[in-house]
Copies of this chain bind each other. A is one copy, B any other.
Amino acid sequence: MTNSPKGRARGADKRRRLMSAAARVVHQQGVERTTIADIAAAADVPLGNVYYYFKTKDELVQAALAEHAGHLAELTGELDELPDPLQRLKALVDAWVGQRDTTARYGCPTGTLAAELDKRADGGLDLEAGEVIRSLLNWTEQQFRELDLPDPDDLALTFVGAYQGMSLLANALRDPEIMTGQGTRLTRWLDSLMEA
């Protein structure tokens, strides 16, 4: 029997709360500086209970990565509703700029996570982080392809690379306005591609 839905922590969604907290805290503190106790506290779950849902810390990190992948899929899913591929790409830039304060403080969630996981000798989670970035590249490439532009795979690398680069600089210099300025530049670049 599950508990009644009366108490503040219903229990049925504890796993979800832990995933969400893991994504948030790992983004803010990084994988290595985040303890399971940190995540447990953020999710309002007692330390020992965490292990009922996730057997190891790596599983929690994997859950955090999956959470970010889910956010990204949700975003591109919404953008797919827009009729024009160019419009979709511009809206993605707008969404990135809209996150400028968080990005200036903690960097791109997926990018910083991938960079940190890539430093690990055990080739496991690092590959999964690469897959999340790969899926964003694939979505972007598809937009360029629909626009009948040459070398859509190269354009996708330039586009996503520009985002990762501006995110890292905004974070390193703690300046959200870098996202605004470079976002404008990226939008102008998209327009310039259509002229040719």
Contacts and interface: CB of A to CB of B under 8 A. Distances in A.
Contacts of A115: 107, 112, 115-116, 168, 171-172
Mostly, the A contact residues are helix
B157 A161 contact: no
Contacts of A137: 169
A120 interface: yes
Contacts of A30: 32, 116, 119-120
B112 A119 contact: yes
A112 B33 CA distance: 15
A173 B32 contact: no
Contacts of A172: 111, 114-115, 118, 129-130, 133
User: Would you list the 6 A-B pairs with minimal beta carbon distance, nearest first?
Assistant: A165-B165, A161-B165, A32-B32, A30-B119, A164-B165, A114-B172
